[in-house]
């Protein structure tokens, strides 16, 4: 990476599991942290919102951070079903994912909406994990870099700094498909992201740029060794304690 920065591996549990599953998974990870010591990366888990308190209690004192999968841009109000950034901070969260491709696609979230959510999170002291990434059609059309730059331009709030911002590159076509871009393709996009945030984010050289999209125990070491890859945003593999721990231990 352009400057020394501790990698981050975040597990996005998405809409999976019941409370007993969350307790078992979080407990297994916390036990590994205590027994084996921390890996060479920061570790965060992002369970469904209804499990934040349960998971927070299970990982308390372990060194594992608690993250959420989304937040509303407003601090309070008539927004049925939504959860605000102050609520997440009050629940013990340190991180929140914003702009995930599944939110952009399934909930019609625009770059402006993502920017507002990121600003709300940062205003509450949360680390905003801002997601960007192209579809397969966009990559096949040679538009991957342009799409990612456009999303960054629209999604980064004015107050973004290395102390409150993480970027996650997740090519939409690789999420949950078992497919991953080739290493040079990942390196190219991550380098473009680093260049794009220079001048836009204070301390841009030390902002972690995560890769996400079919990250598994089997390919984590190779991906995490790529230039400018500062960690991983892990989906399905984060639901298995052994696999997720292997990914965390793969950080160089």
Residue 4: what pLDDT?
57
Q: Are 45 and 13 in contact (CB under 8 A)?
A: yes
166 pairs with which residues across the strands? Answer: 129
d(CA 133, CA 70): 17
What average pLDDT score do residues 110-138 get?
97
Mean pLDDT of the chain: 96
Residue 2 has pLDDT above 70, yes or no: no
Instruction: Report, as an integer, the average pLDDT of 52-73.
Output: 98
* Mean pLDDT, residues 97-123 taken together: 97
What domains lie within the chain, and their CATH numbers?
Answer: 8-72+81-215+222-239 (3.20.20.70)
User: What are the tens digits of pLDDT across the range 182-226?
Assistant: 999 999 999 999 999 998 999 999 999 999 999 999 999 999 999
Kindly list the catalytic residues: 100, 170
List the end-to-end C-alpha distance of the chain, in Å, as a whole number. 11
Considering the entire predicted model, what is its pTM? 0.96
Q: In this model, does residue 144 exceed pLDDT 50?
A: yes
pLDDT of residue 3: 44
Burial of 184 (0-12, 13-18, 19+ CB in 10 A): exposed
Of all residues in the chain, what percent carry a pLDDT higher than 90? Answer: 94
Contact in structure between 184 and 226 (CB atoms under 8 Å): no
Q: Centre a 10 Å sphere on the Cβ of residue 103 and count the other Cβ atoms it contains.
A: 18
Residue 29, pLDDT score: 98
Concatenated DSSP letters of 152-213: HHHH--TT-BTTTEEEEE--GGGTTTS----HHHHHHHHHHHHHHHTTTSBTGGG--EEEES
Nearest to 161 by CA among 116, 206, 202: 202
Give the whole-number percent of the chain exceeding pLDDT 70: 98
């Amino acid at each position: 990476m352009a400057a020394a920065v501790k990698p981050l591996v975040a597990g996005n549990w998405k809409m999976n599991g019941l409370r007993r599953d969350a307790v078992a998974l979080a407990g297994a990870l916390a036990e590994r942290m205590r027994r084996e010591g921390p890996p060479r990366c920061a570790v965060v888990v992002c369970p469904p919102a209804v499990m934040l308190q349960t998971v927070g209690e299970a990982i308390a004192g372990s060194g594992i951070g608690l993250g959420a999968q989304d937040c509303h841009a407003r601090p309070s109000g008539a927004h049925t079903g939504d959860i605000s950034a102050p609520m997440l901070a009050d629940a013990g969260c340190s991180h929140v994912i914003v702009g995930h491709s599944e939110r952009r696609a399934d909930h019609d979230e625009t770059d402006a909406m993502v920017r507002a959510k990121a600003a709300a999170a940062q205003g509450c002291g949360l680390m905003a994990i801002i997601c960007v990434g192209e579809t397969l059609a966009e990559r096949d059309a040679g538009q991957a870099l342009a799409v990612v730059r456009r999303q960054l331009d629209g999604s980064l709030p004015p107050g973004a700094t290395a102390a409150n911002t993480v970027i996650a590159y997740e090519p939409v076509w690789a999420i949950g498909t078992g497919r991953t871009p080739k290493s040079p393709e990942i390196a190219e996009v991550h380098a473009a992201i680093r260049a794009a945030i220079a001048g836009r984010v204070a301390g841009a050289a030390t902002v972690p740029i995560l890769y996400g999209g079919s990250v598994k125990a089997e390919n984590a070491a190779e991906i995490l060794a790529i230039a400018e890859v500062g960690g991983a945003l892990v989906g399905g593999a984060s639901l298995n304690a052994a696999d997720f721990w292997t990914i965390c231990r793969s950080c160089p």
